[in-house]
């Protein structure tokens, strides 16, 4: 079956078929992959439990689909083009053949270090080729990877390691990001003080900084590779995995509690990421695809590693940041590697736009034919700039909406095939059945409606559970609206039936495309010894999309406010990571609360948005006068 739809008519026909006969549709897609043994049943599902199984009893290995199956025809084709942080360092290109070799070697390293099928492996690496190598090596032997983004703190790493009971950690001495060196091994050392499950740590040399190495626990990546070489076992057969065996865990924040481990399984995730990659970007075999995300997030898992590689594509990965050494870095990479498809986030576009057109004008971007956006709503100004300055008005922009839990893109234009409109994710992909519901759960039919976005039918890439706590998965995603997956997003379907995502309707912030849970952040702030209570809300931020605004009640002791702000930020960096630091901290004597003690975030949101006219009736609050006081304080903050 052809994965790419040809034109709009083909899209419509394919979409209709996929809804009428979803099992037949997905079976056709799945057959384009290599299975060790075919499934006996395409789909069984029950959203109430939830219990979702795709390609039941099918046997498969995703690393084999990403590597081995391309070797015969495309062994010398570049699989990964790696661009280093420092432009004066040489790029590295790994062909499919070379990548397979490295994955097999490292898979044997993992085995030598006691990793077995089903074991959990935590990966905390910079954006270097060894990161996808480690991921694919885990997949090859059936170990479950849990990648932790390099911006998270020691505390966050140890929470994740303990939750999944990882037995091994893969890290590096340090990593480069712009002008900074991040001391990854030292952060891991701090994390491991409270992690009893970890037996081994494999340390890659990248920054060549001094690190502590503990005998019996810590080993060097390079030494372990030499051992494997001297053992003379260059190959590592791909483990036979069940379609529903867990492939990986990826932690993500929600509106309550600690981050949860989203679980993706092997067969469905493989089929879904491969399919959406090919179709949405209309990938042609010679094209160079560059996704600027970090592999620590789902976008990198699905569209740097698994999606492109399962389709035999050439995937560019970049170690650094788009603004270093200057704001032209991304355009230099496009020019240097002749990138055809660029997939990035609105926050990056806005920051490069703000830096000035002189960084993009004059760069040769003529290779670009298609553009993508992901992670947050894109404002019209940024969309237009991206279209004109980067795409020169000739490259369709696919505004792809999806979530960590979804595995891959759900609602998006198909490049050059379906229409685009600034700020709109447009239409559901074949196989995806979105519905809008009102607060009471009534399905809103027809066009020109807005409500909460749900998906009423399973797709292969959806999460199956949350690690170690299935009930939490049911509660979070399947209990708000009966028989449907609830996304947490608000959405408009306009008169033409086009979808526009309007943002989260729960207490989750989206800061520079990163998901921040307000409850998690409040807990971190409340751990500061001088803090009595706090409340977090998002506010519109010109570059980050949303900024973090913290209202904080301090104890009665006299404080140096600026110093206390620094202390609070340092506390947040320790507990969660620097990405969660508030942009604004306003000290308040109290918070607006109902008589039952519930914080009225709605009022705080109105205050930070400057929407003072629509705060509404405050007379039922425990102390209505506090609203005036907070308003006055807020006016002085900006």
CB atoms within 10 A of CB 495: 9
Please, what is the minimum distance in Å from the beta carbon of residue 605 to ligand WT7? 16
- CA separation (Å) from 382 to 226, 379, 388, 401, 542? 49, 6, 10, 16, 10
Please, what is the minimum distance in Å from the beta carbon of residue 400 to ligand WT7? 5
The number of CA neighbours under 13 Å toward the Cβ of 339 is 32
Give 42 or 509: the residue with its C-beta nearer to ligand WT7: 509
Give 109 or 462: the residue with its C-beta nearer to ligand WT7: 462
Sign of the CA dihedral 427, 431, 432, 437? Answer: positive
Give 454 or 554: the residue with its C-beta nearer to ligand WT7: 454
Distance CA 577, CA 99 (A): 32
First-to-last alpha carbon distance for the chain, in angstroms, is 57
Distance CA 293, CA 340 (A): 16
Are the C-beta atoms of residues 143 and 248 closer than 8 Å to each other?
Answer: no
CB atoms within 10 A of CB 617: 7
Are the C-beta atoms of residues 178 and 85 closer than 8 Å to each other?
Answer: yes
Give 119 or 376: the residue with its C-beta nearer to ligand WT7: 376
Please, what is the minimum distance in Å from the beta carbon of residue 412 to ligand WT7? 7
Please, what is the minimum distance in Å from the beta carbon of residue 508 to ligand WT7? 7
Give 75 or 422: the residue with its C-beta nearer to ligand WT7: 422
Give 299 or 347: the residue with its C-beta nearer to ligand WT7: 299
Please, what is the minimum distance in Å from the beta carbon of residue 252 to ligand WT7? 5
Distance CA 565, CA 553 (A): 12
DSSP letters for 149-202: -TTB-HHHHHHHHHHHT-SEEEEES-EEETTEEE-HHHHHHHHHTT-TT--EEE
Query: Which structure tokens are listed for 210?
Result: 């001094």
Give 84 or 422: the residue with its C-beta nearer to ligand WT7: 422
Residues lying near ligand WT7 in the complex (CB under 6 A) are found at 252, 298-299, 374-377, 399-404, 425, 487-489, 501, 503-504, 510, 515
- CA separation (Å) from 339 to 210, 267, 369, 386, 529? 36, 30, 9, 15, 50
Query: Which structure tokens are listed for 24?
Result: 């037949």
Give 344 or 534: the residue with its C-beta nearer to ligand WT7: 344
Q: Give φ, ψ of 277 to 5 degrees.
A: -60, -55
Q: Using CB positions, name the residue nearest to ligand WT7.
A: 404
Please, what is the minimum distance in Å from the beta carbon of residue 293 to ligand WT7? 7
Please, what is the minimum distance in Å from the beta carbon of residue 303 to ligand WT7? 9
Give 78 or 377: the residue with its C-beta nearer to ligand WT7: 377
Give 78 or 513: the residue with its C-beta nearer to ligand WT7: 513
Distance CA 274, CA 310 (A): 6
Please, what is the minimum distance in Å from the beta carbon of residue 620 to ligand WT7? 31
Are the C-beta atoms of residues 85 and 177 closer than 8 Å to each other?
Answer: yes
Please, what is the minimum distance in Å from the beta carbon of residue 406 to ligand WT7? 7
Sign of the CA dihedral 434, 435, 438, 439? Answer: negative
The residue behind tokens 């405050």 is: 618
Please, what is the minimum distance in Å from the beta carbon of residue 488 to ligand WT7? 6
Please, what is the minimum distance in Å from the beta carbon of residue 46 to ligand WT7? 24
Give 430 or 488: the residue with its C-beta nearer to ligand WT7: 488
């Amino acid at each position: 079956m052809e994965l790419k739809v040809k034109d709009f008519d083909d899209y419509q026909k394919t979409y209709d078929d996929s809804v009428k006969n979803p099992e037949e549709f997905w079976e056709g897609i799945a057959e384009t992959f290599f299975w060790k043994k075919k499934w006996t049943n395409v789909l069984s599902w029950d959203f109430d439990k939830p219990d979702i199984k795709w390609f039941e009893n099918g046997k498969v290995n995703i690393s084999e689909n990403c590597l081995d199956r391309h070797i015969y025809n495309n062994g010398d084709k570049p699989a990964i083009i790696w661009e280093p942080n420092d432009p004066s360092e040489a790029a590295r290109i790994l062909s499919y053949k070379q990548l397979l070799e490295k994955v097999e070697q490292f898979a044997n390293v993992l085995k030598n270090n006691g990793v077995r099928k089903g074991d959990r492996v935590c990966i905390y690496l910079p954006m270097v080729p060894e990161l996808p190598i480690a991921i694919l090596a885990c997949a090859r032997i059936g170990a479950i990877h849990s990648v932790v983004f390099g911006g998270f703190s020691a505390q966050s790493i140890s929470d994740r390691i303990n939750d999944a009971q990882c037995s091994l950690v893969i890290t590096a001495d340090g990593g480069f990001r712009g002008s900074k060196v991040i001391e990854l091994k030292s952060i891991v050392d701090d994390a491991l003080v409270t992690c009893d499950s970890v037996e081994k740590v494999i340390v890659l040399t990248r920054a060549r900084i001094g690190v502590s190495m503990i005998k019996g626990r810590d080993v060097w990546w390079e030494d372990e590779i030499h051992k494997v070489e001297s053992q003379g076992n260059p190959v590592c057969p791909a483990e036979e995995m069940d379609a529903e065996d867990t492939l990986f865990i990826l932690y993500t924040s929600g509106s309550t509690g600690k981050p949860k481990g989203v679980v993706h399984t092997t067969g469905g995730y493989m089929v879904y990421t491969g399919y959406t990659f090919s179709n949405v970007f209309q990938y042609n075999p010679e094209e160079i695809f560059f996704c600027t995300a970090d592999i620590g997030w789902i976008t990198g898992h699905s569209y740097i590693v698994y999606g492109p590689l399962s389709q035999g594509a050439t995937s560019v990965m970049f170690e650094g940041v788009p603004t270093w050494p200057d704001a032209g870095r991304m355009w230099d990479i496009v020019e240097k590697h002749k990138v055809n498809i660029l997939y990035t986030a609105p926050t990056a576009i806005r920051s490069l736009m703000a830096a000035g057109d002189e960084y993009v004008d004059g760069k040769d971007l003529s290779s670009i034919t298609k553009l993508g956006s992901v992670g947050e709503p894109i404002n019209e100004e940024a969309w237009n700039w991206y279209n004109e300055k980067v795409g020169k008005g000739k490259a369709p922009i696919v505004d792809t909406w999806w979530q960590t839990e979804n595995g891959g893109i759900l609602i998006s234009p198909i490049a050059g095939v379906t229409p685009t409109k600034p700020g709109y994710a447009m239409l559901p992909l074949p196989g995806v059945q979105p519905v809008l519901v009102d607060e009471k759960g009534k399905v809103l039919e027809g066009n020109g409606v807005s409500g909460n976005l749900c998906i009423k039918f399973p797709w292969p890439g959806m999460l199956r559970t949350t690690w170690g706590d299935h009930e939490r998965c049911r509660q979070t995603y399947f209990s708000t609206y009966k028989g449907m997956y609830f996304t947490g997003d608000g959405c408009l379907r306009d008169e033409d039936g086009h979808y526009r995502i309007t943002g989260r309707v729960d207490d989750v912030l989206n800061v520079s495309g990163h998901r921040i849970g307000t409850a998690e952040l409040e807990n971190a702030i409340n751990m500061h010894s001088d803090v009595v209570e706090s409340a977090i809300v998002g506010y519109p931020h010109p570059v980050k999309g949303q900024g973090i605004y913290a209202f904080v009640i301090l104890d009665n002791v006299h404080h140096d406010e600026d110093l206390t702000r620094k202390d609070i930020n340092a506390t947040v960096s320790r507990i969660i990571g620097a990405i969660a630091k508030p942009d604004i901290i306003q000290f308040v004597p109290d918070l607006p609360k109902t008589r039952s003690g519930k914080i009225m975030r709605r009022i705080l949101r109105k205050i930070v948005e400057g929407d003072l006219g629509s705060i509404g009736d405050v007379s039922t609050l425990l102390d209505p006068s506090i609203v005036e006081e907070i308003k006055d304080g807020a006016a002085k903050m900006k």
